[in-house]
């Protein structure tokens, strides 16, 4: 066995140790270089990842702002649409009311036309009846005026009760002692074309009875004859 004190052995051992040391240094240097490269690579990766994250954050912020803008626009559009829907509803309601008013107006016009036709028919009937009455009055006037001394006058009433045109029948030759004395009965025609006795001078107590009979018979000549007879009877009393 060789002693370590042997110079050759010692030099060989030192040489071997130096070689191992150098190998270790080379390996360490390689590891250090590799670590440095990995550090640089990791740093670049982290920087790249950070840049990507920052860009992603900015993009997300822009997207969020865009979303918020869209939301505000959507809210405004919803409000505008709601207002338009309300306006459309009001227009529809207004049109419906106008249609109802139109139908109501048409119905009123038709009703007025019917009333006007009935009124026209009534007026024509009244005119015909008035013509017949006037014809009868003229006949009665001729008979009484020529044979009984009666005069017929048209007068205008001065009071509210007797307002309007009236007929006044003046009888003479009633009282034998005063043949020119006037005995008067005043009458008119109501809206329903019936006779209305207004007054008599001198007053006749039986005048309401005679008027009622006139309403029943519509015989003016008989009424005037009865009135004359009552005036004669009253004058002789």
The DSSP string of 149-217 is: -EEEEEEE--SSTT-SEEEEEEE-S-SSS-TT--EEEEEEE-TTS-EEEEEEES--TTHHHHHHHHHHH
Domain of residue 204: give its range.
148-236
pLDDT the model gives residue 130: 63
Are β-strands 150-156 and 195-201 bridged in parallel, bridged antiparallel, or unpaired? unpaired
Whether 216 and 201 have beta carbons less than 8 Å apart is answered as no
- Under the banding of pLDDT at 50, 70 and 90, the label for residue 209 is very high
Could you give the number of structural domains in the chain? 2
Those residues whose C-beta lies under 8 Å from the C-beta of residue 216, and which sit 6 or more positions away, are none
Strand spans (E) along the chain: 150-156, 165-171, 183-189, 195-201
Per residue in 77-120, pLDDT tens? Answer: 888 888 888 888 888 888 888 888 888 889 889 888 888 888 88
Report if residue 66 sits inside a domain.
no
Report if residue 126 sits inside a domain.
yes
Per residue in 134-165, pLDDT tens? Answer: 676 666 666 666 656 678 888 765 543 444 56
User: Do 118 and 184 reside in the same domain of the chain?
Assistant: no
pLDDT the model gives residue 160: 38
Report if residue 96 sits inside a domain.
yes
pLDDT (average), residues 123-133: 70
């Amino acid at each position: 066995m060789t002693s370590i004190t042997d110079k050759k052995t010692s030099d060989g051992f030192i040489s071997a140790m130096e070689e191992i040391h150098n190998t270790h240094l080379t390996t360490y240097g390689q590891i250090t270089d590799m670590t440095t490269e990995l550090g640089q690579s990791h740093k670049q990766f982290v920087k790249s990842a950070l840049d990507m994250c920052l860009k992603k954050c900015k993009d997300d912020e822009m997207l969020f702002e865009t979303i918020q803008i869209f939301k505000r626009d959507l809210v405004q559009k919803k409000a505008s649409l709601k207002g338009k829907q309300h306006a459309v509803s009001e227009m529809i309601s207004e049109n419906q009311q106008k249609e109802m008013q139109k139908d109501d107006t048409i119905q009123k016009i038709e009703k007025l036309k019917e009333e006007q036709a009935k009124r026209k028919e009534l007026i024509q009937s009244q005119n015909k009846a008035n013509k017949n009455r006037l014809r009868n009055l003229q006949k009665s006037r001729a008979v009484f005026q020529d044979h009984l001394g009666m005069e017929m006058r048209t007068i205008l009433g001065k009071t509210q009760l007797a307002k309007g045109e009236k007929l006044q029948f003046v009888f003479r030759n009633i009282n034998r002692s005063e043949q020119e004395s006037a005995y008067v009965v005043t009458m008119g025609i109501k809206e329903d074309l019936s006779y209305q006795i207004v007054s008599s001078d001198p007053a006749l107590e039986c005048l309401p009875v005679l008027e009622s009979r006139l309403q029943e018979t519509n015989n003016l000549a008989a009424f005037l004859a009865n009135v004359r007879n009552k005036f004669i009877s009253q004058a002789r009393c």
